[in-house]
Amino acid sequence: MKVAVISGKGGSGKSSVTAAWLSLSRHVVAVDCDVDASNLPLLFSHEVIAHEGFVSGEDIYVDTKRCIGCGICVETCAFQALEIGTEVFPVPRDFLCEGCGCCLRVCPQHALSLVAEARSQIYTARLLRSDHHLVYGHLKPGDDNSGKMIARMREVADAEMVAIGADLQLLDGPPGIGCPVLSTLTGMDRVVLVCEPTLSGFADLQRAYRVAASFCKALFVVINKCDINSDNAQQIRDFCATYHLPVVAELPFDRKMVEAQLNCCSLVDYAPQSDGAEALRKAYALVFQ
């Protein structure tokens, strides 16, 4: 079974929910699909057992034997990704390059080329306090292709499931509803939407629902910090009732959730008797039954 935990925005608590359910599970392959800022590797002590490079972009290469220093490429680049260096030749500014290839087309000497490099990394790790395995990635800042990177991470996770005999794959999704989320949702058996009772939280829940519903029919909702605004929380309940979305947990605002994060563990491990931990256990039974 494959289960994804997503939300329409960052900071809603989906990683905290995923971490709690990971602690309640046995023999799981977890995937942290937020390749821009992974959280699960920070929460759980782990040992990296394998890693591989991922081509997430291309770099400009200047052949100084061909280049005559005319500067046409520098003038043409709309992103200012090339500048004239101390030796007349153009110097690439990789963080600004969008890989459009315009400089290649205007260079009279054909001295420029785009070279693919494995600048990002995908890691497979074993969690030290359990028999779980974790797949996560680090996308180089400024690079794109996060959707393709997540697709590759899921291939690695599928192979890892076979290798260790796991029957559950738990995905901690990226924020938003863009390409990385679409790559996360593909082929899911169940999807959990985590939201919070704020105006933006409710709006993002509606957007996330419309996206997730096109990928999976088994959808569930967790309302985090349910007691910070009763009116917005009721709006979310009414929305879920209208679209027949089971609300499997309503988590109260609890400082222990923050304390658990500061101690690098999940809420069910840090404060197993808390109301939030009890709600997460009941939700786990409903989602994973």
Question: What CATH number does the domain containing 75 carry?
Answer: 3.30.70.20
Q: How far apart are CA 207 and CA 136, in angstroms?
A: 26
- Residue 141 is predicted with a pLDDT of 82
Q: Which among 129, 120, 126, 195 has a CA at the least distance from the CA of 150?
A: 120
Structure tokens given for 75: 């003038």
- In this structure, the answer to whether residues 8 and 108 fall within a common structural domain is no
| Euclidean distance between CA atoms 120 and 251, whole angstroms | 36
Q: For 201-230, give the DSSP string.
A: HHHHHHHHHHHHHTT-S-EEEEETTTTS-H
Say yes or no: 35 and 162 in one domain: yes
Q: Do 92 and 233 belong to one domain?
A: no
| Strands 82-84 and 57-62, sheet pairing | unpaired
Query: Torsions phi, psi of 130, nearest 5?
Result: -155, -175
Task: Mark whether 275 and 218 lie in a shared domain.
Answer: yes
What is the count of structural domains for the chain?
2
Domain identity same for 221 and 246: yes
Judgement on whether residues 113 and 125 belong to the same structural domain of the protein: no
Q: What is the predicted pLDDT for the residue at 165?
A: 92
Among the candidates 117, 142, 161, a domain finishes at: 117
> What pLDDT is attached to residue 119?
84
Domain match, 72 and 147 both: no
Between CA 266 and CA 8 the distance in angstroms is 22
Shared domain check, 32 and 159: yes
Instruction: Tell me: do 19 and 99 sit in the same domain.
Output: no
pLDDT at 11: 86
Show pLDDT as tens, one digit a residue, over the chain (289 residues): 999 999 988 889 999 999 999 999 988 999 999 999 899 999 999 999 999 999 887 888 999 999 999 999 999 999 999 998 877 889 998 788 888 899 999 999 999 999 988 889 999 999 998 889 999 999 988 777 789 999 999 999 999 999 999 999 999 999 999 999 999 999 999 999 999 999 999 999 999 999 999 999 999 999 999 999 999 999 999 999 999 999 999 999 999 999 998 888 899 999 999 999 999 999 999 999 8
Domain containing 239 equals 2-55+120-287
**Model pTM score:** 0.88
Same domain, 44 and 183: yes
Residues 193, 250 within the same domain: yes
One domain, residues 146 and 260:
yes
Domain boundary among 117, 136, 157: 117
CATH code at 146? 3.40.50.300
Residue 99 region, left (φ>0) first, then alpha (ψ -120 to 50), else beta?
A: left
